[in-house]
Amino acid sequence: MDTTVTLLAGSSRRLVAELRDALDSCAERQRQLERSLRVSRRLLRAWEPAETLAPEPTPGPETNEEAPSAACIPSPQDLKELELLTQALEKAVRVRKGISNAGEGNKAPSLKSGSIATSPATRASAPPSTSHRAGSRASETKPPRGIRQTRVPTKDLPERRLLSVGDQACMGQGAGATKPKSGLRNEQIVLSAASQAPEAFTLKDKGILLQLPEAFRKAASRNSRPAGCSNHVAFWFVGCACVYPSLWAQLSSTQTSDSVDAATTAKTQFLQKMQTTSGWPGPRLSATEVEAEVRHLQTACLLLRLRMGEELTADPKDWMQEYRCLLTLEELQAIVGQCLHGLRELCTVVEQQLGPWPEGRFPRASLPCGGGADPIWSPQLLLYSSTQELQTLAALRLRVAMLHQQIHLEKVLMAELLPLVCKQEPLGPPWLALCRAVHSLLCEGGQRFLTILREDKPAD
Amino acid sequence: MGRRRRRRRVDPADATRALPEAIAALSQTLPAGPSPETFRRAKFDRPEAAPALWRLLFRVLSPQLADGASASFSPEAQVRSVKLALRTQGYPRRALAQLPDDGSQGGRELLLALAWLLARGPLPERLLTQNRVQLGDEMPVCECEALASPGPPTPSVEADGCVDIRHLQWLMGKLRFRWRNLMASQQEQCALLGKIHSYTRGCHSDRSLGHLSVTETELLRDPEGGRQLLRRLERENARLQAALEWRRRELVFWWWMDTVLGACPPEASQPTFLPRIPTPGTGALEPLVQELQALQGELREAVEARRAAWEAGVGGRGPEWSAARTALREAVGQDLAALRQACERGGSCSLAQPHGPHRLVRTEAGAPGGPGLRAPEVIEALRSQEARLEVVLRQLQGQCRQELARLVGAPPGPVWILPPGR
């Protein structure tokens, strides 16, 4: 039956709005995740040589090794050109080999370096050794200079390529004096081109060599050194005399002292005086307070429902447990009664105030986590030991959030759809379609549908 | 009773120094804080103090705006926004609402409004927490934002007319799909985080952390970004330091505010008309009333059924019964004390579980580790929460099933074949 089942305008507005709300909050989470994913993926790829690794005047030896080689990775276009050039060079070497095999060993150096530069087969073994030499050479130079050198744009490359063919001979020898840096650069460029940039910095290979800059370390430690970090250790390693707790730790610790008490009293008195000197009695409850109370009651309702669920599904084994269950349920009933009473009082207060609430959401106050007074952030750690564990944790968090949303939607759908089923004319085809759809939405989360068998009267 | 209170006798010379220092600390910890001189001018209601204070209040009352975004609001828009926000929070003085929208007047009134906000809660600390620099990879261990279901949402423009129920089914399907995507993305992000953490083992100067976070690694990859991060961090440190200073010195500010309030002319007593502000009317509270009533009904049914079963049963007779009954009653009372307190007006619903964002730290399995939450504990807590929530969801769905079965009626109606897999 393809009868369309339409809903009343009022219900549909609310339902669609709630569902769109849920979709939007999901989309927002997705956006934030995508941002984080972009950053993380980029970190795990080879790092682009845009800048130096550590803008330090005196970095550790490890960072130096990376700087020149990382900065030597040419652009993709250059890589392609170099690859073509490499092939041409290979051919030239083969030709030369043919000639020099017949000849003496004075070609050997060029051969050796030529083969190092161009033979892809030995790429695995040769580059590391040469790069180590290159690296150690670089580490002698001051990093700013070395870096400046390697920032010379690769536009230079065309000339260099031609030169490098001729220069192969002196390069392989490690001739330091003449043109160490440029030669070094060319060698590395050719090497890296030929072997797909083996010197590119990847976190996987060289992550443990990283080191945070000094200024940052100091500022971060002052900001939020994790609680419990031994101050002696901090002093030794960080090398600064910060034996006080971090700023955030200080801010979030609750101190009671005379001056704090006096300030609190002064504040209370000030507020009272403000209230009495204003000519207008003002609302008994501000809009923010009403909203907060509503949310508080919603949370309370869910908690009570959760507890009721526990009791109803528990299986009492003896009469004591049975009686205890009964008492618990009675107590819960009493608490719900009190909540309702408070809510009705709230309704009367609100009625006396500024009148009906216009459609639309009023500015949401930020709900403090934990429901108590505004908590101030303090540095806290969450320790995990394997990726599996982290994934389980994250998945459970999302699952709990999703369940909260599903419960909320279920309540909304129940409130809007069940009355609809009552109102429609029973047993007609549109009503059956409605029932089937409502059943699916309410009872199966919209995932499964039931089948309705109807016995038709024989056509007579 | 006999405790000697150390009274801080402030002599006038000290007071004249202490007040500007206190105000300077306050102004440094707040975003867009004006100079102490502006505060002094505001006390005497000088017009040149007003614009700076409007700007300050705007930044303070809308902290979710980024630093540069407030420039896109015109001064009039800022003034209106400040007035609305203050009235929503219940600011008692009418005079503020009567100030002109061009932001040219009202220094003293604005000063009083700022003091009112400061007196009601830890304003500087709250602002700092909301906009803080995140150095680590953080994960909240609670789902408090999810718990707070939003108020009635804004209706979308398209849903003017009637809507086909299939549109609802489609929206539900779309929602399920989005959640699945979200789960997959989240798993990927965790895997990447795990890799980054393990690849940078031993790099961090702080041994209790051990490895770098994404933010820290990013700052090494992109030094320009790293420099910006460092600047933000240093600015935050300065503001934190100023907040601690403010806490130490604020008493003299409150004494001074007393004089400011005294300098105001008394307000007229008849209430003038004020424009309507959005307040939740009884319409918004109605669903909540229904929900609580439904819950009450369910509990009543359950209690009646069990009490009847109890009365008819054989347990609970005899002399030792009354002692046992009292003991059980007490036990149940204690059991539910926390819940009762959480549901009371103004009670906190935290239920003693850890809250807030925690920095992720990867440790070797089996290592004792330092202070901090352990992932297995959090996983346990989340699992039990998940189980309880699932029970509630199944209950609600079960209710719906019963209700629908009742409405469809007894045979000879159509036969319902329920879907398989339950």
3-state SS track over A125-177: CHHHHHHHHHHHHHHHCCHHHHHHHHCCCHHHHHHHHHHHHHHHHHHHCCCCC
Asked whether the predicted pLDDT for residue A64 surpasses 60, the reply is: no
| SS3 label, residue A84 | helix
Residue A413 lies in a domain: yes
Find where tokens 């505060």 sit: B39
Q: Would strands B415-417 and B138-140 be described as parallel, antiparallel, or unpaired?
A: unpaired
> Which tokens in the block code for residue A278?
């204003």
Contact A204 B299 (CB under 8 A): no
Q: What is the secondary structure of B241-302 as a DSSP string?
A: HHHHHHHHHHHHHHHHHHHHHHHSPPPPSSPPP--------HHHHHHHHHHHHHHHHHHHHH
For residue B9, the chain A residues in CB contact (below 8 A) are none
The answer for residues whose C-beta is within 8 angstroms of residue B304's C-beta and 6 or more apart is none
Contacts of A211 (CB under 8 A, 6+ apart): A54, A59, A60, A62, A63, B203
Higher pLDDT, B151 or A34: A34
Q: Provide the CA A332 distance to its chain's centre, in angstroms.
A: 40
Tokens coding B341: 């307190």
Instruction: Name the average pLDDT for chain A.
Output: 69
CB–CB contact B206 A309 (8 Å):
no
- Measured between beta carbons, the chain A residues lying within 8 angstroms of B214 are 36, 39-40, 43
- Which residues touch A17 (CB under 8 Å, ≥6 apart)? B152, B153, B154, B155, B156, B159
Distance CA A180, CA A193 (A): 19
Confidence of residue A74 (pLDDT cuts 50, 70, 90): low
Write the CA distances from A428 to A456, A457, B194, B408, integer angstroms.
12, 14, 58, 11
User: Residues A267-276: pLDDT tens digits?
Assistant: 999 988 888 8
pLDDT tens digits, one per residue of A102-139: 554 444 444 444 444 444 444 444 444 444 444 344 34
Q: Give the mean model confidence (pLDDT) for residues A168-177.
A: 41
Any domain includes A77: no
B196 lies within 8 A of chain A by CB: yes
Q: Is A97 on the interface with B (CB under 8 A)?
A: no
Residues of B in contact with A361 (CB under 8 A): 150-154
Angle, helix A76-102 to helix A180-194, in steps of 10 degrees? 100
State pLDDT tens for residues A337-393. Answer: 999 998 888 888 777 765 444 333 444 444 555 445 566 788 888 999 999 999 999
Those residues with Cβ within 8 angstroms of residue B82's Cβ, 6 or more apart along the chain or in another chain = B54, B57, B58, B61
Structural domains of chain A, count: 1
Structural domain includes residue A221: no
The C-alpha R_g of chain A, in whole angstroms, comes to 37
Q: Is A254 on the interface with B (CB under 8 A)?
A: no
In 3D, which of A333, A418, A338 has the Cα closest to residue B305? A333
Closest CA to A324 of B395, B319, B330: B330
pLDDT at residue B171, as a whole number: 92
Range of the domain at A435: 386-459
Chain B neighbors of A207, CB-CB under 8 A: 196, 199-201, 203, 217
Asked if B223 lies within 8 A of A333 by C-beta distance, the reply is no
Contact B133 A223 (CB under 8 A): yes
pTM of the model: 0.74
B276 contacts in chain A (CB < 8 Å): 354-355, 358
Distance CA B378, CA B263 (A): 55
Say if A378 falls within a structural domain. no
Residue with tokens 């975004």: B69
Q: Give the count of beta carbons closer than 10 Å to the beta carbon of residue A138.
A: 25
By Cβ distance, the residue of A23, A37, A400 closest to B382 is A400
Report, in this order, helix, strand and coil percent for chain A, each rounded to 5.
Answer: 70, 0, 30
Tokens of A319: 């009469």
Pair A85, A161: CB distance under 8 Å: yes
User: In which order are the strands placed within the sheet that holds B373-374?
Assistant: B138-140, B357-362, A381-384, B373-374
Q: Are B186 and A33 in contact (CB under 8 A)?
A: yes
Find out whether the peptide bond into B412 is cis, omega within 30 degrees of 0.
Answer: yes
Contact B216 A382 (CB under 8 A): no
Q: Give chain A's length.
A: 460
Cβ A369 vs Cβ B356: under 8 Å: yes
Is the pLDDT assigned to residue A452 strictly greater than 70? yes
Is residue A382 helix, strand or coil? Answer: strand
Contact B271 A279 (CB under 8 A): yes
Does residue A152 have a pLDDT over 50? no
Q: Decide: A379 and A228 in contact? Cβ < 8 Å.
A: no
Contact (CB, 8 A) for B404 and A426: no
B17 in contact with chain A, both atoms CB, cutoff 8 A? no
Tokens for A387, please give them. 């990726």
Tokens of A161: 């390529």
Tens-place pLDDT, residues A250-271: 888 766 666 778 888 999 999 8
B156: helix, strand or coil: coil
Residues in A closer than 8 angstroms to B368, CB to CB, are none
How far is A368 from A255, CA to CA, in rounded Å?
A: 21
Residue A291 to residue B280, Cβ atoms within 8 A:
yes
What's the pLDDT at A456?
67
Look at A270 and B257 and tell me if their CB atoms are within 8 Å: yes
Long-range CB contact pairs, A390-394, < 8 A, 24+: A390/B190, A390/B193, A390/B194, A390/B360, A390/B375, A391/B186, A391/B187, A391/B190, A391/B191, A392/B379, A393/B139, A393/B375, A393/B378, A393/B379, A393/B382, A394/B139, A394/B186, A394/B187, A394/B189, A394/B190
Place of tokens 């469809």: B408
Q: Within 10 A of B319 (CB to CB), how many other CB atoms are there?
A: 6
Residue A177 within any structural domain of the chain: no
The angle formed by the CA atoms of residues A110, A112 and A115, to the nearest 5 degrees, is 100
| CB-based contact, A234 to chain B, within 8 Å | yes
* Distance between A279 CA and the closest CA of chain B, angstroms: 4
List, in sequence order, the alpha helices (H) in B90-164: 107-120, 123-130, 144-147
Are the beta carbons of B278 and A291 closer than 8 angstroms? no
Search chain B and give the residue with CA nearest A14.
B155
**pLDDT for position A389:** 94
- The reply to whether A424 falls in a domain is yes
* Cα-based torsion angle of the residue sequence B38, B40, B41, B45 in order, rounded to the nearest 10 degrees: 120
Give, for B314, the enclosing helix (H) or strand (E).
none
In-domain check, residue A98 = no
Can you tell me the mean pLDDT for A41-65?
A: 59
Stretches in chain B below the pLDDT threshold 70:
1-15, 66-68, 70, 144-161, 267-284, 314-319, 346-352, 365-370, 409-415, 420-422
Does A441 reach chain B within 8 Å, measured CB to CB? yes
Contact at CB, A223 and B237, closer than 8 angstroms: yes
**Backbone phi, then psi, for B93, in 5-degree steps?**
-90, 135
Contact B288 A427 (CB under 8 A): no
B288: which residues sit within 8 A by CB, 6+ positions away?
Answer: A294, A297, A298, A301, A343
Nearest CB among A6, A36, A455 relative to B162 is that of: A6
Whole-angstrom CA distances from A243 to A33, A120, B136, B230 are: 37, 56, 22, 21
Give the count of beta carbons closer than 10 Å to the beta carbon of residue A144: 13
Rounded CA-CA distance A227/A231 in Å is 10
Of these ranges, A303-312, A429-438, B284-293, the one predicted with the greatest mean pLDDT is: A303-312
Nearest to B88 among A54, A225, A362 (CB): A362
CB contact under 8 A, A7 and B389: no
Q: Is residue B297 a contact partner of residue A340, using CB atoms and an 8 Å limit?
A: no
CB contact under 8 A, A248 and B358: no
